[in-house]
Amino acid sequence: MEAQSTSSSIIEEALGSIRSTTALGLQKYIVDTYDQYLNVAEKAGFTLKTLMSTMVAFTVGTGYLNVALAFWQGSHFLIDGETSFMAVVAIMLVTKSAAFCVLGVGQNAETFTTAVTAARRVFRMISRVSPIDSMSDQGLALDQVLGNIEMQNIKHIYPSRPGVVVANDLTILFPSVKLLPLLAPLVPEKAPLQSSSCDSMSLSMA
């Protein structure tokens, strides 16, 4: 179930950011990763289905064997005069009802297994200890933070268009508490810095 959930999350993220996925040429990587998780889920699902089918078959067979045993042993008691026909029928019906009640529980065993697996994953996420302790006073503490962000000598090329350089030797400074517009040529589904009304994007760095 965990592998199936992970594969669904991969596809959901890929489709949610399909422009970035296409621009960066990640289609094959995502498909291969999705297939790997599907193979794991397929093997686990086949094993689970086999175990569930075996258990249900065993439960059904046990129910009918109980009915056969009740008739067989009851016939001996009836011939020996130790019991009546109505008692044999009543015991058979009780045995059959009990056997098929157990069968009803066995049919829901797969649902119980899925619920336990999901609960285990949720509890593991809840009880996970973060490697970063936000309340700790250890480590290096900065005396003053200006909030300026500077990027130097940036070169950016899309894998799907290796011959086109989007940014070459770009150096930019984002001052703190300032709005800085970034202008870029409008290329449909390719340019990362664009808006619906104009070819610009404003970044607020606090």
At residue 42's C-alpha, the angle toward residues 47 and 103, to 5°, is 40
Nearest partner of 182 among 157, 205, 162, judged by Cα:
205
pLDDT digits (tens, 9 = 90+) for 94-143: 877 877 777 777 667 767 777 777 787 788 778 878 777 777 777 777 78
Tokens of 98: 């009990």
Q: pLDDT tens digits, residue range 147-199?
A: 888 889 988 887 767 778 888 888 888 888 888 777 765 554 444 443 333 33
pLDDT at 192: 46
Output the six-digit token pair for 32: 């291969």
- Please tell me whether residue 201 adopts helix, strand or coil conformation: strand
**Amino acid (one-letter) located at 14:** A
5-50 pLDDT tens trace: 677 777 777 888 888 778 777 888 888 888 888 888 788 778 878 8
Distance CA 185, CA 161 (A): 15
Domain ranges of the chain: 2-126, 149-205
CB 52 within 8 A of CB 110: yes
Computed over its alpha carbons, how large is the radius of gyration of the chain?
Answer: 33
For the cut 50, the answer to whether the pLDDT of residue 204 exceeds it is no
CA gap 194, 183 in Å, rounded: 8
